[in-house]
Chains A and B, each alone.
Chain A
Amino acid sequence: MNFQLTKEQEFVRKMVREFATNEVEPIAADIDAEHRFPEENVKKMADYGLLGIPFPKEVGGTGGDQLSYAIAVEELSRVCGSTGVICSAHTSLCCWPIYAWGNDEQKEKYLPDLCSGRKLGAFGLTEPNAGTDAGGQQTRADLNGDQWVLNGAKVFITNGGYADVFIIMAMTDKKKKTRGGISAFIVKKDDPGFSIGKTEDKMGICASSTTELIFQNCTIPKDRLLGQVGDGFKVAMSTLDGGRIGIASQALGIAQGAFDVTVEYMKARKQFGKKLSQMEALQFEVANMATQIEAARLLIYQAADMKERNLPYGKYSAMAKLFAAETAMYVTTKAVQLHGGYGYTKDYPVERMMRDAKITEIYEGTSEVQKMVIAASVFGK
C-alpha cells in the first residue's frame, strides 16, 4: 500500500489546476448563466492532451493512467462541473469502449482523432422509456445487406450537440433483451438519418450539452458494429463501470471546490464579533465535510488504481460513485448553508455547485443503481 502519487500524477494535478484556475474558473459562472457549451476551452483541453489521458500513445493517447485521468476530472470540476463532465463523458463513454471493444481498424480510424480531441465523443444508452432498465430499449438496428439501419431515439445524451462520434446501443434481437439482444454501434454526426433533437434545459451543469438523438432510418456501414452482435449490453455495462470513476471524480471536484471557497469565506466573514472559522459549531461542520471528501477521494483513487491494474473494479467504482455523489450533495448543501443568504445568490459559486452536484446522484447510474451493483456483488448475482 502506497498513498503517494507518482511524480507524473502530481504534475497532472498541478497542470490541470493551473489550467482550471486560469482558463476555466474565470468563465464558469458566465457559461452556466448563458447555458453555453465552452467550445474555446474544449479546444484548449484538446491542445493540452486533456481529452485522451488514460490511453496509450500508440492509439493517440497521452500514455497516462486512470488515476491521472480521475485527478484531471476532479481538478476541472473543482471550478466547473460542466467542464468536468465534458471531459469525463468523452473519455470514459466514447474513447474507452472503442479502445476496449473496437477491432484494430476501428481503433485506428477513431481513436487518434478522439484522444487528441480533434473530435469529441458521446454515448447513447438512455431512452425516454429505458434508462436503468436497459432491456427496455426501443431503438432498433436491422441489418440490411451491408448496412445497419437504426430507428429510435436516445435522450439526456451528454455532449450530444457537439459530439462527432457516438457510441449507440440498439436492440438487434428484441426477444433476447439484455441477454444478447442489444448491440453497440459507432455513429458519426453526419450519418444519413441521424439528427440532434431537443436540447435539455437543466437544473445544473448548464454549460454541458445534453440532447436528444434521433435515428430515422439512420444508415451506417456494417463495420460500425462495436464488438459482436449481441455484445451491446456488456459494452454498455463495462463502459459505465469505468464511467463511474469519471463521474465520481466530477462529484469529488465539485465537493472540493465548494469546500475550498467555503473555508475562505469563513475565514473572512465576521458575525457576533468573531470570524465564522472561530465558531466551534461551524468548525465541526467543516470537519465532517473535510472527512467525507477525503473518504470519497480514497474510494475513487482505489477504484482508478484497480482499473489501471486490470483488477475487477466494478463494485469499487460503484461505491466510489455512490459515496462521492452523496458527498457532493452533502458538502455543497452545507457550503450554501455556511454562506447564509449570500450562498443562495449567484454572486457566490456555491449556488452553482449545489445545482451541479445533484446530477452526480443521477447520471451514469443513479445512486440506487450503484447500490444494486454493490449488493449484487455482496450477495452474488
Chain B
Amino acid sequence: MAFKIIVCAKQVPDTNVIKINPKTGTLIREGVPSILNHDDANALEEALKIKDKYPDTHITVVSMGPPQAKDMLLECLAMGADEGVLVSDRAVGGSDTWATSNAVAAAIRKIGEFDLIFAGRQAIDGDTAQVGPQIAEKMDLPQVTYVQEFEIEKDMKSITVKRALEDGYEVIKIKTPCMLTAIKELNAPRYMTIGGIFSANEKPIHVWNANDIAIDLDTVGLEASPTNVFRSFTPAPKGKGVILEGDTEKEVAEKLLIGLKGKHVV
C-alpha cells in the first residue's frame, strides 16, 4: 500500500555562523551558507524511515522561499525524497507565519491526497514553531507537535507518537491523515548519498507561483502579515563568571552565600 507523505522544509541561514549588524539590527546574510532547517531534516528522516520499510511510500517535500531554495529541495531529493515543490513568488515574500501557512496549505491542497504531513518543530531563523500547527488548523487536520517517537500501525491508518513535554511526555494515538511536527530527539538525519546526489536531477522539482496555488493575494506577503519584526538585536554579553576557590566544599559554599547575600539575592 502506497503511503503518501508530505514533508514541510525550510531553507535557513546557518545560525552557527550568523551575526546581526549592530547598527541596523538586521541579519548579515553575506557569506552565510543556507542549510536545510535542522528539525525539518528530522521530519524528512522519519519519512525516509517509513520509505525504507515500505518502499512504495512517496515523499514530497514542500517549501516556500526564494528560487535558490531549490538547492535545499535537491538536497532532500539526494537524501531520498521523491519530489519537491517550491512556492516562490514575490507576492509571498515577507510573509509571517500566518501568511506562510496560508501559502503552504494552498500548495499542499494542490498536491492533493496524502496520509501524513511531517514538519519540523520550528525553524532556527524565526524560532516560532507556528507554521506547522497553523497549516494543520487551516487544513482541518488533527495534529501532534514535538514528536520524539513515532510508530505507524500496519494498516497505516493510525500512528502512535510520543510527544515531548517540558516535564515528561504524552503517548498519543492519531488517525491519518494528520500533521506531526518533529523534534531533534526523534532521530538522526541521514546524509545525502552519492548515488542520490547524481540522481536528484532526475526527480521533479515543481516551482509554483501564487497563481499556481490559487491563493488569495490578500492572505500572503508582507502587507497581509498581521505580525512583523519590530527589532532584532544581539544581547549584551553578560561578562565573565566568577570562580570561587577554597580548600573545602564548605568554605566555597560560605563564599557563595556571602556573595549572594551581598547582592541581596538571598
Binding site for B on A (CB under 8 A): 7-8, 11-12, 14-15, 18-19, 47-50, 52-53, 57, 62-64, 68, 72
Additional A-B contacts beyond A14-B192, A52-B194, A53-B194 (19; CB < 8 A): A7-B71, A8-B201, A11-B74, A11-B78, A11-B192, A11-B200, A12-B194, A15-B78, A15-B191, A15-B193, A15-B194, A18-B191, A47-B193, A49-B194, A57-B198, A62-B194, A62-B197, A62-B198, A63-B195
- Decide if B197 touches A64 in the complex (CB within 8 Å): yes
B200: which A residues are within 8 A, CB to CB?
A: 8, 11
> Which residue of chain A lies nearest to B196 when distances are taken between CB atoms in the complex?
A49
A68: which B residues are within 8 A, CB to CB?
A: 194
B21: which A residues are within 8 A, CB to CB?
A: none
> Which residue of chain B lies nearest to A53 when distances are taken between CB atoms in the complex?
B194
B227 within 8 A of A: no
A52: which B residues are within 8 A, CB to CB?
A: 194
A-B contact pairs, 24 of them (CB 8 A): A7-B71, A7-B74, A8-B197, A11-B74, A11-B192, A12-B197, A15-B193, A15-B194, A15-B197, A18-B191, A47-B193, A49-B193, A49-B194, A49-B195, A49-B196, A50-B194, A52-B194, A57-B198, A57-B199, A62-B193, A64-B194, A64-B197, A64-B198, A72-B194
For chain B, residues 180 to 204, give those with C-beta under 8 angstroms from any C-beta of chain A. 191-201
A12: which B residues are within 8 A, CB to CB?
A: 194, 197
Bound together, the chains give a CA A77 to CA B131 distance in angstroms of 41
Chain A at the B interface: mostly helix, strand, loop or mixed? helix
- Decide if B194 touches A48 in the complex (CB within 8 Å): yes
Binding site for A on B (CB under 8 A): 71, 74-75, 78, 191-201
B75: which A residues are within 8 A, CB to CB?
A: 11
Q: Which of A18, A48, A57 has the most CB of B within 10 A?
A: A48
> Which residue of chain A lies nearest to B202 when distances are taken between CB atoms in the complex?
A63
> Which residue of chain A lies nearest to B192 when distances are taken between CB atoms in the complex?
A15
- Decide if A19 touches B198 in the complex (CB within 8 Å): no
B201: which A residues are within 8 A, CB to CB?
A: 8
> Which residue of chain A lies nearest to B194 when distances are taken between CB atoms in the complex?
A49
Bound together, the chains give a CA A72 to CA B193 distance in angstroms of 12
> Which residue of chain A lies nearest to B79 when distances are taken between CB atoms in the complex?
A15
Min C-beta distance of A193 to chain B, whole Å: 37
Bound together, the chains give a CA A65 to CA B186 distance in angstroms of 35
Min C-beta distance of B81 to chain A, whole Å: 14
Min C-beta distance of B262 to chain A, whole Å: 34
Which of A7, A14, A18, A48 meets B193, CB within 8 Å? A48
- Decide if B198 touches A63 in the complex (CB within 8 Å): yes
A11: which B residues are within 8 A, CB to CB?
A: 74-75, 78, 192, 197, 200
Q: Which of B71, B192, B196 has the most CB of A within 10 A?
A: B192
> Which residue of chain A lies nearest to B78 when distances are taken between CB atoms in the complex?
A11
- Decide if B195 touches A62 in the complex (CB within 8 Å): yes
Which of A8, A14, A47 meets B198, CB within 8 Å? A8
Min C-beta distance of A366 to chain B, whole Å: 31
Min C-beta distance of B235 to chain A, whole Å: 24
B192: which A residues are within 8 A, CB to CB?
A: 11, 14-15
A53: which B residues are within 8 A, CB to CB?
A: 194
- Decide if A63 touches B199 in the complex (CB within 8 Å): yes
Bound together, the chains give a CA A19 to CA B197 distance in angstroms of 14
- Decide if A57 touches B197 in the complex (CB within 8 Å): no
A47: which B residues are within 8 A, CB to CB?
A: 193
Min C-beta distance of B41 to chain A, whole Å: 11
> Which residue of chain A lies nearest to B190 when distances are taken between CB atoms in the complex?
A48
B195: which A residues are within 8 A, CB to CB?
A: 49, 57, 62-63
Bound together, the chains give a CA A53 to CA B199 distance in angstroms of 13
Min C-beta distance of A269 to chain B, whole Å: 21
A15: which B residues are within 8 A, CB to CB?
A: 78, 191-194, 197
The 5 closest A-B pairs by CB, nearest first: A49-B194, A63-B198, A62-B195, A62-B194, A49-B195
Bound together, the chains give a CA A49 to CA B194 distance in angstroms of 5
Bound together, the chains give a CA A14 to CA B71 distance in angstroms of 12
- Decide if B198 touches A48 in the complex (CB within 8 Å): no
A63: which B residues are within 8 A, CB to CB?
A: 195, 198-199
Bound together, the chains give a CA A324 to CA B71 distance in angstroms of 32
A8: which B residues are within 8 A, CB to CB?
A: 197-198, 200-201
A49: which B residues are within 8 A, CB to CB?
A: 193-196
- Decide if A48 touches B197 in the complex (CB within 8 Å): no
> Which residue of chain B lies nearest to A56 when distances are taken between CB atoms in the complex?
B198
Min C-beta distance of A18 to chain B, whole Å: 6
Bound together, the chains give a CA A53 to CA B198 distance in angstroms of 10
A64: which B residues are within 8 A, CB to CB?
A: 194, 197-198
> Which residue of chain B lies nearest to A64 when distances are taken between CB atoms in the complex?
B198
Min C-beta distance of A171 to chain B, whole Å: 38
> Which residue of chain B lies nearest to A49 when distances are taken between CB atoms in the complex?
B194
Min C-beta distance of B51 to chain A, whole Å: 15
Q: Which of B71, B75, B197, B201 has the most CB of A within 10 A?
A: B197
Which of A48, A62, A72 meets B191, CB within 8 Å? A48
Bound together, the chains give a CA A19 to CA B191 distance in angstroms of 7
> Which residue of chain B lies nearest to A116 when distances are taken between CB atoms in the complex?
B195
A48: which B residues are within 8 A, CB to CB?
A: 191, 193-194
Min C-beta distance of A57 to chain B, whole Å: 7
